[in-house]
A = this chain, B = another copy of it.
């Protein structure tokens, strides 16, 4: 099952904020068996947000977005999504009662800006936010799943965890492991890696990450990963490929 992750926010595009949310959600979904195929980052702009959801839904089974869920004028992810797919917004009584409770604890009124966070697409579910005020939004559309999260990392993580059962697990298991090698260049290892992947008929994926070169001593992380329907097979394949790389490296360095 395929997933696309969307981030909404000018601060990401300008490089003011590093997009750690996407990495967190990517790891979460990968370990739930999803194949994360694209990340799309767009501006706080209704047309751009509409484009991102349209594009993401056209190639995936699950779309998770973060950003643009707060009380300010440029928090427009939910309304832009709903407008793009012609879905009405309605006051979600559950979300409103949570907002009322949170703001009353601080002796603050639920202003129109705050109430906006309880206007959800008709047919969606408000997903609990234990950290902040705006709930997450989950809905199904044309047999695809959509989860809309806020951009504040602590809130995003909390709601994502609360949405686990809604997102569901894929029938596939994912496993990876990394071996750290010194004294071998990525380009020297490349032919062996290609051969090894052929040997596993595409069941393992091997990617080398060069870590730089110090005193002419190149360092490399080699990551081996696999996805499949048998957890045991997936783990065994990764472990035996890691061993094959270790043996090859020993032979080379021994020379």
A184 to chain B, nearest CB (A): 11
**Interface-facing stretch out of A10-18, A86-94, A234-242:** A10-18
Number of copies: 2
Given the contacts A10-B207, A152-B210, A23 and B15 also touching, CB distance less than 8 Å? yes
A154 within 8 A of partner (CB): yes
Asked if residues A40 and B40 are in contact (CB atoms below 8 Å), the reply is yes
| A26, A36, A216 — most chain B CB neighbours (10 Å) | A26
Asked if residues B20 and A39 are in contact (CB atoms below 8 Å), the reply is no
Q: How many residues of A contact B (CB 8 A)?
A: 65
A234 to chain B, nearest CB (A): 15
- Residues of chain B lying within 8 A (CB to CB) of residue A16: 23, 27, 176, 223
A145 within 8 A of partner (CB): no
* B interface footprint on A177-191 (CB within 8 Å = 1, 0 otherwise): 000000001111111
- Residues of chain B lying within 8 A (CB to CB) of residue A38: 13, 40-43, 48
**Interface-facing stretch out of A108-116, A136-144, A244-252:** A108-116
- Write the residues of chain A forming the contact surface with B, with a CB cutoff of 8 angstroms: 5, 7, 10-20, 22-28, 30, 36-44, 48, 70-74, 106, 108, 111, 113-114, 132-133, 152, 154, 176, 185-191, 193-194, 197, 205, 207-210, 212, 216, 223, 225
